[in-house]
Amino acid sequence: MMLDPRQTEADQALLLLGQRLRADGYRFTCVTPATHARVNAREGSAQAKNLRDVFGWSRPFATGLLSADELQLLERAQVLVPHGELLASTVRWSSLDELLLVHSAFPTDASDAVFFGPDSYRFAQVIHDYLQHNPTRVEHAVDIGCGSGIGALLIARAAQHAQVSAVDINPLALRYTAINAALAGVSNVSVEPSDLLDGITGTFDLIVANPPYMFDRSARTYRHGGGALGAELSLRIIEQARERLSRHGTLLLYTGVAIVDGRDALLEAIRLRLAGPEWAWVYREIDPDVFGEQLAEPGYEQVERIAAVALTVTRNR
């Protein structure tokens, strides 16, 4: 995918920066916000010493740490900000296998922050497992709430004949997805604004989604799942997917669920929505305990754990 020539100079500069980092062998595995904060709080970690510190750990840096070309690209991309007497980047770059993806810098406090982290790696594994056995079945796919675009990119690379849509309500997510697609060199991804599937037409052989699933008091787009404990978006995706899956089409939903007194309310709701012979589905826990620090937040007083789960739904007829 080439960036649209109408895209801004800032987007072109960000793409060039990503190409430069990749050529230099840059790699970074993105961690949870809690881990990120702990690592950055260690003695000697207040200021960047290398590129991974700058573009992975989001640490402020002295001007002399980067080359003049790198600083110029940051300035052209409009992602360079002052940090006291130092400078900082408002974007991070993280790697997944051979892919390199731009997303928001730590901490992701802004309402339009574009998140990438451990959930993204687990989501990618769910997609990878499916595509290993079914790549030729995919003709038209969509990544709902694409964020940095990892779902769309994995599908586009594995099923190069397919038309893949990456949709999100966040303009910054669409911008970063377009840049990441161009950096990955894929030509079969289209980036479109849409609230879930409301803004696009047609049916799909494959729908993938990694929606936010927390109850977030700030209602940040990338984090707030809606409802009492963050499950509302996941249920909306299931409901819309039922109407938009083609015959034998599949939904891959990676999400999280708050477990209260051993009860999985999301699973109970799914059983009601997917009853009957039209649907074949499998629901499994991928990780029984994620983001434990969230349990200290208001609204989670009765939650005993948050589980990462994957739902695979196939339309039988």
Rounded Cα gap, residues 128 and 150, in angstroms: 11
Torsion angles phi and psi, residue 172, rounded to 5: -70, -35
Is residue 2 predicted with pLDDT exceeding 70?
Answer: no
Rounded Cα gap, residues 12 and 14, in angstroms: 5
Quickly tell me which residue has 């694409």 as its tokens: 146
The model's pLDDT over 175-215, given as tens digits with 9 standing for 90+, comes to 999 999 999 999 999 999 999 999 999 999 999 999 988 87
Return the CATH fold of 118-315: Rossmann fold (3.40.50)
Quickly tell me which residue has 């939650």 as its tokens: 303
Rounded Cα gap, residues 178 and 2, in angstroms: 9
pLDDT band at 21 (very low <50, low <70, confident <90, very high): very high
Residues 6+ apart with CB under 8 A from 83: 60
pTM: predicted TM-score of the whole model, two decimal places: 0.94
Q: Tokens for 195?
A: 């609230």
The model's pLDDT over 298-313, given as tens digits with 9 standing for 90+, comes to 889 999 999 999 999 9
Could you tell me how many residues make up the chain?
317
| 46 residue type, one letter | A
The model's pLDDT over 110-163, given as tens digits with 9 standing for 90+, comes to 889 999 999 999 999 999 999 998 867 899 999 999 999 999 999 999 999 999
Rounded Cα gap, residues 213 and 257, in angstroms: 7
The model's pLDDT over 224-270, given as tens digits with 9 standing for 90+, comes to 666 767 788 999 999 999 999 999 999 999 999 999 999 999 999 99
Domain boundaries, the chain: 9-104, 118-315
